[in-house]
Structure 1
Amino acid sequence: MRQLPNIITLCNLFCGALAIICVLHAPEFRVEFNGNEYTVTNPEPVYWASALVVLAAIFDFFDGLVARLLKVQSPMGKELDSLADVVTFGVVPGMMLYRLLRSAYYQMPDAFEVSMVNVAPALLVPCFAAYRLAKFNLDTRQSENFIGVPTPAVGLLVASFPMILLYNPYNLAHWLQNIWVLYGIIAVLCYLMVAEIPMLSLKVKEKSLKANWTRLLLVVLVLVSMPFLNYATVPFIFICYVILSLAVPPKVTPA
């Protein structure tokens, strides 16, 4: 039973590694339309990658919970959790944004002249995620809440993008095919992960309503918005999470 939390963490890592395979193995083929050739990506494997990130987030939630319940928390478990998270919630979102950038460039007239330099900024996400996780392991101020947006939140946000492209709620797919919007998203996410901004943790340590009303508000917003926003609920809740953390800064342990 002592190794059960670590096994759950490895399930997180397994999902992340499998999601990378799904993203990178999404086959591309050329089609001809009005005398012009276009490269099209079969999106189905990327949708599976989104589902795997969600499943990994569930494992990521339960590994720590099980460790606390069994009272088997350990430095190794903490390090293993960060190693899994950098893959699942760092590398996978980076690969998804890489695919989205390529797809956005394919919509442009000079698509076949696009350099690797144009899509390389997507790889900044795993770099900043790794920095954020290393910092988290050494930062004693983040025992109760976070400083900077946690990587699972970033991973779930980016994992929602392929589903938004598929179902196109409120015509958001149009914006995710704009290279400058994607560059902006990459820059904002990288900044938020390492910013010295206290961010709310969803861990419940006190049972009073006063201590947990912000968490309860987020849950209510999820339940209310899902029927109306569909997959756009994820970016909506992400934005609400950041705004709520800025408006009502959670307590962090002094350095």
Structure 2
Amino acid sequence: MAEAEAKTDKRHDLLAVRSILFLPASNPRAIAKAREAGSDLIVLDLEDAVKSDDKNTARAAAVEAVAEPWPMPVAIRINGVGTEWHSLDLDAAARSKADLVVVPRAASAHLIGDIGKTVSKPVLAMIETAAGVIAAAEIAPETAGLIAGTNDLRADLRLPLDATREPISASLQMIVLAARAAGVAVFDGVFNSLDDAEGFAKEATAGRRLGFDGKSLIHPNQIAPCHRAFAPSTSEVERAKALVAAFQGGAERFGNEMIERMHVEAALRVLDRANA
């Protein structure tokens, strides 16, 4: 019972997360800076961001880094099932004080469930293959949240290198639907162009409109604009306050529209996010 309650609490906490900053666990300078960066969640990466020769060093560094308290939750992204580093990463993550474990290239609910039991921590599953998208509805209930791995997803779908988000829009919507059906958080993928502030803001805003709770980041400079993109506007907050205040308990008129309890629940979520 206690384990189930802890999992529910962690799911609730993640629904307030707007930013997930990924950084290589092999980079001590980046880890030190991340403590003060202001991201809602930090992911110490043992996978894509770490060269093969540095995997063992990065693993030890990640465990050491999470041994001390952080001002925000910290996760460790392990290497995937079938890699030579997976078992060692799994054991290290289980022994560590990391708050969560991030699993790449998730495609099997059974495997994700087994990983969660092994590490005894909430799991964030990265959906970054066609198989993962198809299985997302089964995977989501085994997790505390889903992360869209947009770079790998583009590659798995064999899209052109300069492809926009349009070819993966259906996949992104399926990931959001799977998370919402399971009642867990869901996060958009990374934006690769570090110097394109306008492009980042546009993509982050589009992600919020699609239903994502927040976004994966690859540089601290993306944190503040990410928080702005996923924060309700002043007009949204004012409308939400007015709607909640006006609601009397049934279907009724609010301005020029009809509202019901579902609209109040949505308005309360806006206010919760505004106060995050």
TM-score, length-normalised on structure 2?
A: 0.22
Determine which structure has greater relative contact order: mean sequence separation of CA pairs < 8 Å that are 6+ residues apart, divided by chain length. Answer: 1
Name the structure where strand makes up a greater proportion of residues: 2
Name the structure where helix makes up a greater proportion of residues: 1
TM-score, length-normalised on structure 1?
A: 0.23
